């Protein structure tokens, strides 16, 4: 198990280095210049001399290879540089938004898992009964309704029914948990519905497959209680693909909630990502890509380790 | 007839009382104003910015030498300047400063601070950006004979200088701060404005509290305020409707206005006015066939601006038909003269016939090209769709390419566009700003037609030095006529500003520019 874990961790390094190289060069071929957006984006009459001076100040006049070496040294030393838009450290910019995005992702995951596991299990156990049909309707709704639209409906309903909206500015959970949850529970609900639907369908189909396996039949033939057959033998194995889905969805929620964040006016990682792309803020985009790539490889590592826990064959390979 | 007049007089009095009645009420002190800012500034330095995002953020913290009197726009009034005199030959401006003004850190304001600020604006040290360097290039020296007097001696006459002193971008900084670090205003706020800085939570909000030592006694009325960044229109509208914010001072679209009015009824106040913004059509004169004036002129003549304004004003912020100066402003070309210029005829059938003839004569009767546009829905997309339809009616096929601001600007800067929808964003009506965009590209890099026209440049320079308003107006007309005859670029339509505020928000003045009047000193809450 130790060797397996070390192997997986070592594999993360070339993956992240590859991402660092790729994102650096991809951004350099995209047209656009942050200085132009900054100084002329609102119609300002700015001399070319001013534009060049600002490019020099931000280090954009340096040749690519120099910029690349600086970037790679920064990645190796965990210094992601300064945002060219706000001129504050990239890490600081991301940290400010990460708490909110992580919290929405965690709340949505809790919501999704708490509902999806029993729902998917019941639907599989009572296949083709009204319970199964109800679950199918709910999950198809969850998959087909875009989260941002569901979010808009939530907001408009709150407004129409109670003439009330959740707080518009973020309060940390450490400062005021009630205010924090009052704001974040709604976006978590909006994205959690889709998340829950995906996971529930996966658990249902996976459990149906497992329930037809020989070892389940053997367990039943041996007289094992049905509850134990389901919880210890069937569900444990059926959860493996669901864990992958839950893990990947969780990572997606960190940086992928762009429109939902806009609907709820959340100051999250997704909005920051879109803004940095719109402004050609290379350093911030690079930092964000590394952050999200980092989350992906970490969550994947977690999933791989969980696989090894649930499936002994993997750790003995 | 008499009764009609009486009724109209009564109605007028009632309206005047209704409108002025609110202003006439005794302002109440206290309260917190939450308002929406639909963009977030990158930094706090007014001198280095051209976006309202910086002004809506920074204006409450700073003062300027002069400012526009919005009730009598474009008249200017003193802010830090208690009084001023202008030499008859316009070669010197002497300002007497208010006494007892203090920066938020407690330092007394003197004429040295004004000098240091204007030195930074006109001649920024290395590492500092001043987007107004060219504006103040005509200043020769700045003298400070005593702590409360500052004298600007000019190198050349600039007829618009007084208005430029009232620019909201000229925030006065402390000389000692600039001496310690000329770039400090980017990251640190220390002004003499009505509010002191409390916090800026990136991506979330900026807040300020009452400056108890503000030099205008009794102001500001508010205890504090919070400018909340609402980058998405839907979130901003929800917040307005839900009362989480009480105003959005930049401007909203007609559809957004209608939604708020339908949902909120008499709880919301809507103020409307023509805007110092326009969209332009720019032909790249370095690309064939747009190097041919006949082609450019034909394309302008095919556009039914008068009809378009009626349709577009219902779905977008575009509305007024005008020339290079905002319609309705003192130097604007009257409609009777405007209709005689290419592209503004009201007889669109005849105009389009002439356009087809010109295209045929130029050898491109079935012209095809790409129209570059910005991927902002309001009002760029409807403008693009409208233009394509107008040009289709004279047999021209157009591909509409919309891209993000970075790519859009990069394409135009590199001269890779054929035709583009550009924009002009001004803070006042004065022609020194309004005409600058049309100068030769060697002088104005933001000229997206990339034209070079010595005659236009000369007309501009002459009008800048002209002290007689009537002669100045005549030079502006000549400039406009030359520009439209050559058809390098031309305003499509001017924008229309619609500002929603809750009825409890009082004392805020509507103006033609979203860059003006945002220090919030006289704003109060009627609750």
Tell whether B249 is covered by a domain.
no
**B241-300 pLDDT, tens per residue?**
999 999 999 999 999 999 999 999 999 999 999 999 999 999 999 999 999 999 999 999
The predicted structure's pLDDT at residue B4: 41
What is chain B's length?
527
B236 vs A contacts (CB less than 8 Å): 265
| A105 Cα to chain B: minimum distance (Å) | 19
Which candidate, B276, B330, B312, places its Cα nearest to that of B389?
A: B312
Residues in chain A predicted with pLDDT less than 50, given as ranges, are: none
CB proximity A44 to B under 8 Å:
yes
Cα nearest neighbour of B37 on chain A? A265
CB proximity A29 to B under 8 Å:
no
CA distance B466 to B461: 9
The predicted structure's pLDDT at residue A255: 79
A97:B446 CB<8 A: no
The predicted structure's pLDDT at residue A216: 93
The predicted structure's pLDDT at residue A316: 57
The predicted structure's pLDDT at residue B16: 40
Q: Which residues neighbour A144 within 8 Å (Cβ) at sequence distance 6 or greater?
A: none
A159:B204 CB<8 A: no
CA distance B225 to B525: 11
Do residues B69 and B152 share a domain? Answer: yes
The predicted structure's pLDDT at residue B8: 41
Minimum-distance CB partner of A265 among B126, B187, B232: B232
Do residues B466 and B514 share a domain? Answer: no
**B200-249 pLDDT, tens per residue?**
998 899 999 999 999 999 999 999 999 999 988 888 999 999 999 999 99
pLDDT-based confidence at residue B130 (cuts at 50, 70, 90): confident
Do residues B363 and B437 share a domain? Answer: yes
Tell whether B10 is covered by a domain.
no
A39 vs B contacts (CB less than 8 Å): 48, 50, 129, 131
Provide φ and ψ at B344, rounded to 5°.
Answer: -120, 10
Q: Which residues neighbour B161 within 8 Å (Cβ) at sequence distance 6 or greater?
A: B90, B93, B138, B152, B154
CA distance B472 to A160: 56
Do residues B307 and B178 share a domain? Answer: no
Minimum-distance CB partner of A36 among B49, B413, B424: B413
B52 vs A contacts (CB less than 8 Å): 42
Minimum-distance CB partner of B235 among A33, A262, A277: A262
Tell whether B323 is covered by a domain.
yes
CA distance B510 to A109: 47
The predicted structure's pLDDT at residue A126: 95
Tell whether B309 is covered by a domain.
yes
Tell whether B254 is covered by a domain.
no
The predicted structure's pLDDT at residue B133: 85
The predicted structure's pLDDT at residue A295: 92
B406 vs A contacts (CB less than 8 Å): 31-34, 36-37, 278-280
Minimum-distance CB partner of A45 among B42, B409, B444: B444
Q: Around B80, how many Cα atoms within 13 Å sit in the side-chain half-sphere?
A: 34
CA distance A278 to A53: 22
**B149-200 pLDDT, tens per residue?**
999 999 999 999 999 999 999 999 999 999 999 999 999 999 999 999 999 9
B432 vs A contacts (CB less than 8 Å): none
Kindly report the CATH number assigned to the domain that includes residue B135. Answer: 3.40.190.10
My answer on whether omega of the bond before B220 falls inside 30° of 0, hence cis, is: yes
Which tokens hold the place of B41? Answer: 């500034």
Domain count, chain B: 2
Do residues B121 and B41 share a domain? Answer: yes
ipTM at complex level: 0.80
Do residues B183 and B103 share a domain? Answer: yes
B202 vs A contacts (CB less than 8 Å): 86, 88, 93, 96, 267
B201:A170 CB<8 A: yes
**B78-89 pLDDT, tens per residue?**
999 999 999 999
Kindly report the CATH number assigned to the domain that includes residue B482. Answer: 3.10.105.10
B425:A44 CB<8 A: yes
A39:B203 CB<8 A: no
Q: Which whole number is the average pLDDT over B58-76? A: 96
In terms of C-beta density within 10 A (0-12 exposed, 13-18 middle, 19 or more buried), how is residue B368 classed?
exposed
Other beta carbons within 10 Å of B300: 23
Which tokens hold the place of A125? Answer: 């156990």
Which tokens hold the place of A272? Answer: 């920051």
CB proximity A47 to B under 8 Å:
yes
Q: Which of B4 and B526 is assigned the larger pLDDT?
A: B526
**Is the torsion defined by CA of B236, B237, B238, B241 positive or negative?**
positive
**A245-296 pLDDT, tens per residue?**
899 889 888 878 888 898 899 999 998 998 898 888 999 999 999 999 999 9
Do residues B43 and B171 share a domain? Answer: yes
**DSSP SS3 for B495:** strand
A45:B134 CB<8 A: yes
Do residues B310 and B209 share a domain? Answer: no
The predicted structure's pLDDT at residue B59: 97
Q: What is the DSSP letter of B237?
A: H
**A208-249 pLDDT, tens per residue?**
999 999 999 999 999 999 999 998 889 888 888 889 889 988
Tell whether B209 is covered by a domain.
yes
**B414-433 pLDDT, tens per residue?**
889 999 999 998 999 989 98
Q: Are the beta carbons of B158 and B166 closer than 8 angstroms?
A: no
Q: Which residues neighbour B525 within 8 Å (Cβ) at sequence distance 6 or greater?
A: B28, B30, B31, B33, B221, B222, B246, B504, B505, B506
Strand B419-425 vs strand B368-374: parallel, antiparallel, or unpaired?
parallel
**B294-311 pLDDT, tens per residue?**
999 999 999 999 999 999
In terms of C-beta density within 10 A (0-12 exposed, 13-18 middle, 19 or more buried), how is residue B504 classed?
middle
A42:B51 CB<8 A: yes
Which candidate, A133, A109, A106, A120, places its Cα nearest to that of A239?
A: A120
Do residues B512 and B481 share a domain? Answer: no
Domains recognised in chain A with CATH numbers = 90-316 (1.10.3720.10)
Minimum-distance CB partner of B50 among A42, A85, A275: A42
Q: Supply the range of the domain harboring residue B456.
A: 274-496
CA distance B101 to B172: 12
Do residues B39 and B151 share a domain? Answer: yes
Q: Which residues neighbour B370 within 8 Å (Cβ) at sequence distance 6 or greater?
A: B398, B399, B400, B401, B417, B418, B419
Q: What is the DSSP letter of B78?
A: E
Tell whether B14 is covered by a domain.
no
Do residues B450 and B517 share a domain? Answer: no
The predicted structure's pLDDT at residue A240: 87
Q: Are the beta carbons of A23 and A286 closer than 8 angstroms?
A: yes
CB proximity A162 to B under 8 Å:
no
Minimum-distance CB partner of A33 among B226, B230, B410: B410
Provide φ and ψ at A211, rounded to 5°.
Answer: -65, -20
Q: Are the beta carbons of A301 and A8 closer than 8 angstroms?
A: yes
The predicted structure's pLDDT at residue B1: 38
Residues 92-131 of chain A with CB under 8 A from chain B are 93, 96-97
In DSSP notation, B384-403 reads HHHHHHHHHTTT-EEEEEEE
Q: Which of A60, A87, A265 best tests the B interface by mutation, with the highest count of B CBs <10 A?
A: A265
Tell whether B129 is covered by a domain.
yes
| B49 Cα to chain A: minimum distance (Å) | 7
Kindly provide the residue ranges of all beta strands, DSSP E only, lying in B79-194, ordered along the sequence. Answer: 81-86, 92-97, 139-146, 149-154
What is chain A's length?
317
Cα nearest neighbour of B42 on chain A? A86
The predicted structure's pLDDT at residue A44: 67
Do residues B179 and B281 share a domain? Answer: no
CA distance A190 to B285: 51
> What's chain B's average pLDDT?
92
A97 vs B contacts (CB less than 8 Å): 203
B201:A40 CB<8 A: no
Whether residue B9 has pLDDT greater than 70: no
Q: What is the DSSP letter of A163?
A: S
Q: Which residues of A207-225 are buried (b: 16+ CB within 10 A; e: fewer)?
A: bbebbeeeebeebeeeeee
């Amino acid at each position: 198990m130790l060797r397996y874990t070390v192997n997986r961790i070592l594999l993360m390094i070339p993956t992240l280095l590859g991402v660092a190289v790729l994102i650096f060069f991809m951004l350099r071929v995209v047209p656009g210049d942050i200085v132009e957006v900054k100084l002329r984006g609102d119609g300002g009459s700015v001399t070319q001399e001013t534009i060049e001076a600002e490019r020099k100040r931000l280090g954009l006049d340096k040749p690519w290879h120099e910029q690349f070496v600086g970037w790679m040294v920064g990645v190796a030393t965990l210094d992601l540089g300064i945002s060219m838009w706000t001129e504050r450290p990239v890490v600081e910019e991301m940290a400010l938004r990460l708490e909110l995005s992580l919290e929405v992702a965690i709340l949505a995951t809790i919501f999704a898992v708490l509902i999806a596991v029993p729902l998917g299990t019941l639907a599989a156990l009572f296949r083709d009964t009204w319970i199964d049909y109800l679950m199918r309707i709910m999950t198809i709704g969850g998959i087909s309704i875009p989260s941002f639209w569901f979010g808009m409906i939530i907001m408009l309903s709150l407004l129409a029914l109670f003439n009330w909206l959740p707080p518009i500015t973020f309060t940390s959970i450490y400062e005021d948990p009630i205010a924090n949850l009052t704001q974040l529970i709604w976006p978590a609900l909006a994205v959690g519905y889709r998340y829950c639907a995906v996971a529930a369908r996966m658990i249902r189909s996976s459990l149906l497959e497992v329930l037809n396996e020989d070892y389940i039949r053997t367990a039943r033939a041996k007289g094992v209680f049905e509850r134990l057959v389901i919880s210890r033998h069937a569900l444990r194995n059926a959860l493996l693909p669901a864990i992958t889905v839950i893990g990947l969805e969780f990572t997606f929620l960190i940086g992928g909630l762009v429109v939902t964040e806009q609907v709820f006016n959340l100051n999250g990682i997704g909005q920051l990502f879109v803004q940095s792309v719109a402004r050609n803020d290379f350093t911030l985009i690079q930092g964000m890509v590394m952050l999200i790539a980092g989350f992906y490889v970490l969550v994947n590592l977690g999933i791989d380790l969980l696989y090894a826990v649930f499936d002994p064959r993997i750790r003995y390979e | 007839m008499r009764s009609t007049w009486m009724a109209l007089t009564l109605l007028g009095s009632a309206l005047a009382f209704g409108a002025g009645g609110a202003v006439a009420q005794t302002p109440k002190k206290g309260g917190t104003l939450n308002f929406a800012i639909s963009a977030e500034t990158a930094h706090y330095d007014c001198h280095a910015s051209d976006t309202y995002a910086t002004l809506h953020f920074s204006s409450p913290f700073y003062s300027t030498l002069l400012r526009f009197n919005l009730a009598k726009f474009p008249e200017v009034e003193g802010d830090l300047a208690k009084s001023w005199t202008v030499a008859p030959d316009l070669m010197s401006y002497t300002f007497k400063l208010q006494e007892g003004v203090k920066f938020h850190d407690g330092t007394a304001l003197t004429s040295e601070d004004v000098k240091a600020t204007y030195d930074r604006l006109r001649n920024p040290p290395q590492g500092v950006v001043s987007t107004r360097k060219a504006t103040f290039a005509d200043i020769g020296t700045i003298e400070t004979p005593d702590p409360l007097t500052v004298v600007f001696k000019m190198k050349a006459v600039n007829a618009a200088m007084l208005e430029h002193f009232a620019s909201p971008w000229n925030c006065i900084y402390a000389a000692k701060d600039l001496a310690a670090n000329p770039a400090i205003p980017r990251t640190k706020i220390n002004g003499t404005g009505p509010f002191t800085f409390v916090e800026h939570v990136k991506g979330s909000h900026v807040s300020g509290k009452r400056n108890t030592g503000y030099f205008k006694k009794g102001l500001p009325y508010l205890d504090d305020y919070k400018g909340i960044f609402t980058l998405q229109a839907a979130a901003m509208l929800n917040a307005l409707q839900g009362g989480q914010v009480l105003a959005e001072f930049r401007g909203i679209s007609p559809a957004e206005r209608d939604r708020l009015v339908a949902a909120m009824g008499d709880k919301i106040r809507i103020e409307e006015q023509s805007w110092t913004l326009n969209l332009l059509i720019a032909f790249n004169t370095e690309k064939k066939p747009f190097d041919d004036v006949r082609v450019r002129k034909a394309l302008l003549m095919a556009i039914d601006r008068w009809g378009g304004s009626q349709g577009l004003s219902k779905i977008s912020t575009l509305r007024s038909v005008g020339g290079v100066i905002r319609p309705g402003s003192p130097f604007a070309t009257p409609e009777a003269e405007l209709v005689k210029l290419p592209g503004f005829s009201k007889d669109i059938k005849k105009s389009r016939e002439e356009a087809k003839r010109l295209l045929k004569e130029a050898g491109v009767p079935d012209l095809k090209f790409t129209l570059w546009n910005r991927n902002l829905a309001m009002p760029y997309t409807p403008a693009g769709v409208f233009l394509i339809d107008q040009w289709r009616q004279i047999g021209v096929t157009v591909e509409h390419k919309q891209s993000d601001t970075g790519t859009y600007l990069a394409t135009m800067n590199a001269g890779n566009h054929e035709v583009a929808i550009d924009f002009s964003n001004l803070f006042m009506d004065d022609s020194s700003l309004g005409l600058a965009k049309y100068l030769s590209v060697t002088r104005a890099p933001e000229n997206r037609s990339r034209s070079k026209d010595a005659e236009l440049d000369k007309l501009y320079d002459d009008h800048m030095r002209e002290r007689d308003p009537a002669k100045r107006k005549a030079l502006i007309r000549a400039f406009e006529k030359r520009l439209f005859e050559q058809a390098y670029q031309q305003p499509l339509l001017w924008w229309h500003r619609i500002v929603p505020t809750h009825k409890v928000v009082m004392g805020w003045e509507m103006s033609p520019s979203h860059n003006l009047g945002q220090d919030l000193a006289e704003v109060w809450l009627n609750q």
